[in-house]
Amino acid sequence: MKRLLRLLLLLVLVAAGVAGWWLYVGINTPFKGYDAAEQFVDIPQGSGSIAIAKRLADAGVIRDVHSFRAALWLTGEGRRLQAGEYRFDRPVSAREVADKIARGEIYVRPITFPEGLTMKQMAALYESKGFGPARDFLAAGKNAALVRAIDPDAKDLEGYLFPDTYNLKRKEGAEQLVPKMVTAFMKAMTPELLERADERGLTVRQLVTLASIVEKETGNKQERPLVAAVYANRLRIGMPLQCDPTVIYALDRAGRYNGNLTHENMQYDSPYNTYRYPGLPPGPIASPGRASIEAAANPAAADYLYFVSRNDGTHAFATTLEEHNRNVHKYQVEYFRK
Q: Could you tell me if 97 and 114 lie in one domain?
A: no
Q: Could you tell me if 117 and 140 lie in one domain?
A: yes
Minimal CA–CA distance to 280: which of 225, 228, 315? 228
Percent of the chain at pLDDT exceeding 70: 91
Count of domains observed in the chain: 3
Q: Which amino acid is residue 107, in one-letter code? A: Y
Can you tell me the mean pLDDT for 264-286?
95
Any idea how long the chain is?
Answer: 338
Q: Could you tell me if 122 and 70 lie in one domain?
A: no
Q: Does residue 7 lie within any of the structural domains?
A: no
Contact 57, 73 (CB under 8 A): no
Query: What DSSP string describes 274-309?
Result: TTTS-SS-SS-SS---HHHHHHHHS--S----EEEE
Q: What is the pLDDT of residue 24?
A: 58
Q: What is the pLDDT of residue 56?
A: 96
Higher-pLDDT residue of 7, 183: 183
Residue ending a domain, among 52, 80, 103, is 103
pLDDT in tens, 1-57: 656 555 555 554 444 444 455 565 668 889 999 999 999 999 999 999 999 999 999
Q: What is the pLDDT of residue 230?
A: 97
Q: Does residue 211 lie within any of the structural domains?
A: yes
User: Exposed e or buried b for every residue in 82-117, given b needs 16+ CB within 10 A?
Assistant: eebebebeeebbbbbbbbbbbeeebbeeebebebbb
pTM summary value: 0.84
Domain with 182 in it: 109-188
Instruction: Examine the pLDDT at 336 and tell me if it is beyond 80.
Output: no
Kindly compute the dihedral angle of the four CA atoms of residues 331, 210, 264, 117, in this order, to the nearest 10 degrees.
Answer: 90
pLDDT in tens, 137-151: 999 999 999 999 999
Q: Could you tell me if 78 and 161 lie in one domain?
A: no
Instruction: Examine the pLDDT at 113 and tell me if it is beyond 90.
Output: yes
Q: Could you tell me if 269 and 297 lie in one domain?
A: yes
Q: Could you tell me if 114 and 138 lie in one domain?
A: yes
